[in-house]
Amino acid sequence: MTVLLSVDALTKAYSSAGRQIAALDNVSLAIGSGETLGLVGASGSGKSTLSRVLLRLLEPDSGSIRFAGQDWRALRGAALRRSRARMQMVFQDPLGAFNPLASVASVLDDPLRIHGIADKRRRPAEIATLLERVGLPPAFASRPVRTLSGGQRQRVAIARAIATRPSLLVLDEAVSALDVTVRGRILELLVELQRERGLAYLFISHDLAVVRAISHRVAVMDAGRIVEEGPAADVVNAPQSDAARRLVAAVPRLVTESV
Protein backbone atom coordinates (compact mmCIF):
# COMPACT_ATOMS: atom_id res chain seq x y z
CA MET A 1 0.00 0.00 0.00
CA THR A 2 1.31 3.47 -0.87
CA VAL A 3 1.56 5.86 2.04
CA LEU A 4 -0.75 8.81 1.38
CA LEU A 5 -0.40 10.73 4.64
CA SER A 6 2.36 10.56 7.19
CA VAL A 7 2.43 12.65 10.30
CA ASP A 8 5.55 12.82 12.41
CA ALA A 9 5.94 14.16 15.96
CA LEU A 10 3.17 16.77 15.84
CA THR A 11 2.91 18.96 18.91
CA LYS A 12 0.36 21.62 19.76
CA ALA A 13 -0.21 23.31 23.11
CA TYR A 14 -3.01 25.74 23.93
CA SER A 15 -2.69 28.22 26.75
CA SER A 16 -5.89 28.65 28.64
CA ALA A 17 -6.37 30.55 31.91
CA GLY A 18 -2.59 30.68 32.39
CA ARG A 19 -2.23 26.90 31.97
CA GLN A 20 -0.65 25.02 29.07
CA ILE A 21 -2.70 22.17 27.61
CA ALA A 22 -0.79 19.67 25.46
CA ALA A 23 -3.56 18.96 22.93
CA LEU A 24 -1.09 17.13 20.65
CA ASP A 25 1.92 15.56 22.28
CA ASN A 26 4.31 13.98 19.77
CA VAL A 27 1.63 12.51 17.50
CA SER A 28 2.78 10.29 14.63
CA LEU A 29 0.63 8.23 12.27
CA ALA A 30 0.36 7.09 8.68
CA ILE A 31 -2.54 6.34 6.31
CA GLY A 32 -2.24 4.39 3.08
CA SER A 33 -4.13 5.17 -0.14
CA GLY A 34 -7.62 3.73 0.06
CA GLU A 35 -7.27 2.88 3.75
CA THR A 36 -9.41 3.85 6.74
CA LEU A 37 -7.58 4.74 9.92
CA GLY A 38 -9.99 5.11 12.83
CA LEU A 39 -8.96 7.58 15.51
CA VAL A 40 -10.78 7.08 18.77
CA GLY A 41 -10.43 8.77 22.13
CA ALA A 42 -12.42 10.32 24.94
CA SER A 43 -13.67 13.87 24.65
CA GLY A 44 -10.76 16.31 25.06
CA SER A 45 -8.08 13.82 23.98
CA GLY A 46 -6.99 16.00 21.04
CA LYS A 47 -8.77 14.43 18.06
CA SER A 48 -10.28 17.62 16.64
CA THR A 49 -7.04 19.50 17.17
CA LEU A 50 -5.33 16.90 14.99
CA SER A 51 -8.01 17.19 12.29
CA ARG A 52 -7.71 20.99 12.25
CA VAL A 53 -3.92 20.79 11.98
CA LEU A 54 -4.17 18.32 9.08
CA LEU A 55 -6.61 20.58 7.24
CA ARG A 56 -4.27 23.54 7.74
CA LEU A 57 -6.86 25.38 9.82
CA LEU A 58 -4.49 25.46 12.80
CA GLU A 59 -0.69 25.69 12.96
CA PRO A 60 1.03 23.08 15.15
CA ASP A 61 4.00 24.06 17.33
CA SER A 62 6.24 21.47 15.70
CA GLY A 63 6.26 18.29 13.67
CA SER A 64 5.91 17.40 10.01
CA ILE A 65 3.13 16.32 7.67
CA ARG A 66 3.67 14.68 4.29
CA PHE A 67 0.55 14.32 2.17
CA ALA A 68 0.34 13.08 -1.42
CA GLY A 69 4.09 13.43 -1.80
CA GLN A 70 4.20 17.04 -0.57
CA ASP A 71 5.59 18.79 2.47
CA TRP A 72 2.08 19.75 3.56
CA ARG A 73 3.05 22.35 6.17
CA ALA A 74 5.23 24.23 3.68
CA LEU A 75 2.43 24.87 1.15
CA ARG A 76 1.31 28.47 0.88
CA GLY A 77 -0.92 30.66 -1.28
CA ALA A 78 -2.01 29.32 -4.65
CA ALA A 79 -0.21 25.99 -4.19
CA LEU A 80 -2.06 25.43 -0.89
CA ARG A 81 -5.41 26.38 -2.44
CA ARG A 82 -4.85 23.93 -5.27
CA SER A 83 -3.76 21.12 -3.00
CA ARG A 84 -6.65 21.59 -0.56
CA ALA A 85 -8.91 19.92 -3.11
CA ARG A 86 -7.15 16.63 -2.32
CA MET A 87 -7.94 16.60 1.42
CA GLN A 88 -11.50 17.42 2.43
CA MET A 89 -13.39 17.18 5.68
CA VAL A 90 -16.80 16.20 7.00
CA PHE A 91 -17.62 16.99 10.58
CA GLN A 92 -20.71 16.96 12.78
CA ASP A 93 -23.40 18.97 10.95
CA PRO A 94 -21.07 20.96 8.66
CA LEU A 95 -24.08 22.44 6.88
CA GLY A 96 -25.03 24.12 10.15
CA ALA A 97 -22.35 26.65 9.21
CA PHE A 98 -24.22 27.62 6.02
CA ASN A 99 -26.95 30.17 5.68
CA PRO A 100 -30.06 28.07 6.42
CA LEU A 101 -31.76 29.59 3.38
CA ALA A 102 -28.94 28.44 1.08
CA SER A 103 -29.99 25.77 -1.39
CA VAL A 104 -28.32 22.40 -1.68
CA ALA A 105 -27.21 23.43 -5.19
CA SER A 106 -25.37 26.48 -3.90
CA VAL A 107 -23.63 24.41 -1.21
CA LEU A 108 -22.37 22.02 -3.91
CA ASP A 109 -21.62 24.75 -6.44
CA ASP A 110 -18.98 26.38 -4.21
CA PRO A 111 -16.27 23.70 -4.35
CA LEU A 112 -16.91 23.09 -8.07
CA ARG A 113 -16.42 26.79 -8.79
CA ILE A 114 -13.59 27.49 -6.35
CA HIS A 115 -11.52 24.53 -7.51
CA GLY A 116 -12.43 24.93 -11.18
CA ILE A 117 -13.85 21.38 -11.39
CA ALA A 118 -16.57 22.25 -13.91
CA ASP A 119 -17.44 25.43 -15.82
CA LYS A 120 -20.68 27.27 -15.12
CA ARG A 121 -22.71 25.50 -17.80
CA ARG A 122 -21.62 22.04 -16.67
CA ARG A 123 -22.11 22.61 -12.95
CA PRO A 124 -25.86 21.78 -12.69
CA ALA A 125 -25.21 18.38 -14.29
CA GLU A 126 -22.22 17.80 -12.02
CA ILE A 127 -24.39 18.70 -8.98
CA ALA A 128 -27.07 16.22 -10.10
CA THR A 129 -24.41 13.51 -10.47
CA LEU A 130 -23.04 14.24 -6.99
CA LEU A 131 -26.52 14.09 -5.44
CA GLU A 132 -27.25 10.84 -7.18
CA ARG A 133 -23.95 9.42 -5.98
CA VAL A 134 -24.80 10.07 -2.34
CA GLY A 135 -28.33 8.65 -2.74
CA LEU A 136 -30.37 11.86 -3.00
CA PRO A 137 -32.78 12.71 -5.83
CA PRO A 138 -31.66 15.49 -8.23
CA ALA A 139 -34.71 17.58 -7.17
CA PHE A 140 -32.93 18.12 -3.85
CA ALA A 141 -30.76 20.72 -5.60
CA SER A 142 -33.40 23.42 -5.08
CA ARG A 143 -34.19 22.51 -1.46
CA PRO A 144 -33.10 24.92 1.27
CA VAL A 145 -30.56 23.22 3.52
CA ARG A 146 -32.75 23.79 6.58
CA THR A 147 -35.52 21.55 5.22
CA LEU A 148 -33.23 18.49 5.20
CA SER A 149 -33.06 15.81 7.88
CA GLY A 150 -29.79 15.17 9.71
CA GLY A 151 -28.96 12.17 7.52
CA GLN A 152 -29.76 14.06 4.31
CA ARG A 153 -27.57 16.96 5.43
CA GLN A 154 -24.69 14.58 6.06
CA ARG A 155 -25.18 13.12 2.56
CA VAL A 156 -24.94 16.64 1.11
CA ALA A 157 -21.84 17.26 3.24
CA ILE A 158 -20.27 14.09 1.82
CA ALA A 159 -21.21 15.14 -1.72
CA ARG A 160 -19.55 18.49 -1.07
CA ALA A 161 -16.44 16.81 0.28
CA ILE A 162 -16.06 14.47 -2.72
CA ALA A 163 -16.85 17.21 -5.27
CA THR A 164 -13.17 18.12 -5.60
CA ARG A 165 -12.12 14.47 -6.08
CA PRO A 166 -10.01 14.25 -2.95
CA SER A 167 -7.79 11.33 -2.01
CA LEU A 168 -8.36 11.75 1.75
CA LEU A 169 -11.44 12.63 3.77
CA VAL A 170 -11.06 13.63 7.40
CA LEU A 171 -14.35 12.73 9.10
CA ASP A 172 -14.53 14.22 12.60
CA GLU A 173 -17.57 12.91 14.53
CA ALA A 174 -19.32 12.85 11.14
CA VAL A 175 -22.00 10.34 12.16
CA SER A 176 -22.10 11.03 15.91
CA ALA A 177 -25.30 13.08 15.83
CA LEU A 178 -27.26 10.56 13.75
CA ASP A 179 -29.54 7.82 15.04
CA VAL A 180 -28.39 4.23 14.65
CA THR A 181 -30.22 3.36 11.40
CA VAL A 182 -29.26 6.54 9.56
CA ARG A 183 -25.70 6.19 10.85
CA GLY A 184 -25.48 2.67 9.43
CA ARG A 185 -26.59 3.85 5.99
CA ILE A 186 -24.06 6.69 5.96
CA LEU A 187 -21.29 4.26 6.93
CA GLU A 188 -22.38 2.00 4.03
CA LEU A 189 -22.20 4.96 1.66
CA LEU A 190 -18.69 5.76 2.87
CA VAL A 191 -17.57 2.16 2.32
CA GLU A 192 -19.02 2.18 -1.24
CA LEU A 193 -17.32 5.46 -2.10
CA GLN A 194 -14.05 4.13 -0.78
CA ARG A 195 -14.33 1.00 -2.89
CA GLU A 196 -15.20 2.98 -6.03
CA ARG A 197 -12.71 5.80 -5.73
CA GLY A 198 -9.88 4.44 -3.64
CA LEU A 199 -10.51 7.18 -1.08
CA ALA A 200 -8.65 7.10 2.24
CA TYR A 201 -10.39 8.11 5.46
CA LEU A 202 -9.21 9.41 8.79
CA PHE A 203 -12.37 8.48 10.67
CA ILE A 204 -12.54 10.20 14.05
CA SER A 205 -15.03 9.40 16.81
CA HIS A 206 -15.29 9.09 20.57
CA ASP A 207 -17.31 5.90 19.96
CA LEU A 208 -15.21 2.76 19.49
CA ALA A 209 -18.18 0.76 18.15
CA VAL A 210 -18.60 3.16 15.24
CA VAL A 211 -14.86 3.37 14.58
CA ARG A 212 -14.55 -0.40 14.62
CA ALA A 213 -17.38 -0.78 12.10
CA ILE A 214 -15.54 1.12 9.38
CA SER A 215 -11.80 1.08 10.11
CA HIS A 216 -9.01 -1.13 8.85
CA ARG A 217 -6.70 0.07 11.61
CA VAL A 218 -7.49 1.95 14.78
CA ALA A 219 -5.37 4.45 16.72
CA VAL A 220 -6.32 5.35 20.28
CA MET A 221 -5.69 8.84 21.56
CA ASP A 222 -5.44 9.90 25.19
CA ALA A 223 -4.38 13.28 26.56
CA GLY A 224 -2.78 14.35 23.29
CA ARG A 225 -0.87 11.12 22.64
CA ILE A 226 -1.45 8.07 20.46
CA VAL A 227 -1.32 5.36 23.12
CA GLU A 228 -2.19 2.34 21.00
CA GLU A 229 -2.52 1.39 17.37
CA GLY A 230 -3.38 -1.82 15.55
CA PRO A 231 -5.90 -3.74 13.45
CA ALA A 232 -9.44 -2.78 14.52
CA ALA A 233 -10.29 -6.26 15.81
CA ASP A 234 -7.14 -6.45 17.98
CA VAL A 235 -7.78 -3.10 19.66
CA VAL A 236 -11.36 -4.17 20.45
CA ASN A 237 -10.63 -7.75 21.53
CA ALA A 238 -7.32 -7.22 23.31
CA PRO A 239 -6.89 -3.56 24.25
CA GLN A 240 -3.39 -2.87 25.60
CA SER A 241 -3.73 0.63 27.04
CA ASP A 242 -5.92 1.91 29.89
CA ALA A 243 -7.51 4.38 27.47
CA ALA A 244 -8.49 1.62 25.03
CA ARG A 245 -9.81 -0.56 27.86
CA ARG A 246 -12.01 2.32 29.03
CA LEU A 247 -13.36 2.82 25.50
CA VAL A 248 -14.14 -0.90 25.18
CA ALA A 249 -15.86 -0.90 28.59
CA ALA A 250 -18.02 2.03 27.45
CA VAL A 251 -19.56 -0.24 24.77
CA PRO A 252 -20.39 -3.46 26.63
CA ARG A 253 -21.80 -5.30 23.58
CA LEU A 254 -18.77 -4.55 21.49
CA VAL A 255 -16.73 -7.67 22.09
CA THR A 256 -19.54 -10.15 21.51
CA GLU A 257 -21.51 -8.43 18.75
CA SER A 258 -20.16 -7.09 15.51
CA VAL A 259 -21.66 -3.76 14.55
Ligand X SMILES: Nc1ncnc2c1ncn2[C@@H]1O[C@H](COP(=O)(O)OP(=O)(O)O)[C@@H](O)[C@H]1O
List residues near ligand X by CB under 6 A: 14, 16, 21, 23, 41, 43-49
Minimum CB distance to ligand X, residue 20 (Å): 10
26 binds Mg ion (CB under 5 A): no
164 binds Mg ion (CB under 5 A): no
Minimum CB distance to ligand X, residue 38 (Å): 13
Nearer to ligand X, 49 or 194 (CB): 49
Minimum CB distance to ligand X, residue 61 (Å): 13
Give the per-residue SS3 of the chain: CCEEEEEEEEEEEEEECCEEEEEEEEEEEEEECCCEEEEEECCCCCHHHHHHHHCCCCCCCEEEEEECCEEHHHCCHHHHHHHHCCEEEEECCHHHHCCCCCEHHHHHHHHHHHCCCCCCCCHHHHHHHHHHHCCCCHHHHHCEHHHCCHHHHHHHHHHHHHCCCCCEEEEECCCCCCCHHHHHHHHHHHHHHHHHHCCEEEEEECCHHHHHHHCCEEEEEECCEEEEEEEHHHHHHCCCCHHHHHHHHCCCCCCCCCC
Query: Binder to Mg ion among 48, 70, 83, 164 (CB under 5 A)?
Result: 48
Beta bridge partners of 13: 22
Instruction: Give the CB-side neighbour count of residue 114, counting CA atoms within 13 A.
Output: 17
Q: Which stretch binds Mg ion (CB under 5 A): 3-11, 47-55, 122-130, 150-158?
A: 47-55
83 binds Mg ion (CB under 5 A): no
70 binds Mg ion (CB under 5 A): no
Instruction: Give the CB-side neighbour count of residue 133, counting CA atoms within 13 A.
Output: 23
Minimum CB distance to ligand X, residue 41 (Å): 5
176 binds Mg ion (CB under 5 A): no
Longest dimension (CA), the chain: 56
Q: Which stretch binds Mg ion (CB under 5 A): 41-49, 118-126, 225-233, 240-248?
A: 41-49
Minimum CB distance to ligand X, residue 206 (Å): 7
49 binds, among ligand X, Mg ion, none (CB under 5 to 8 A by kind): ligand X
Nearer to ligand X, 13 or 251 (CB): 13
33 binds Mg ion (CB under 5 A): no
Q: Which stretch binds Mg ion (CB under 5 A): 40-48, 85-93, 110-118, 137-145?
A: 40-48
21 binds, among ligand X, Mg ion, none (CB under 5 to 8 A by kind): ligand X
- Residues found near Mg ion in the complex (CB under 5 A): 47-48
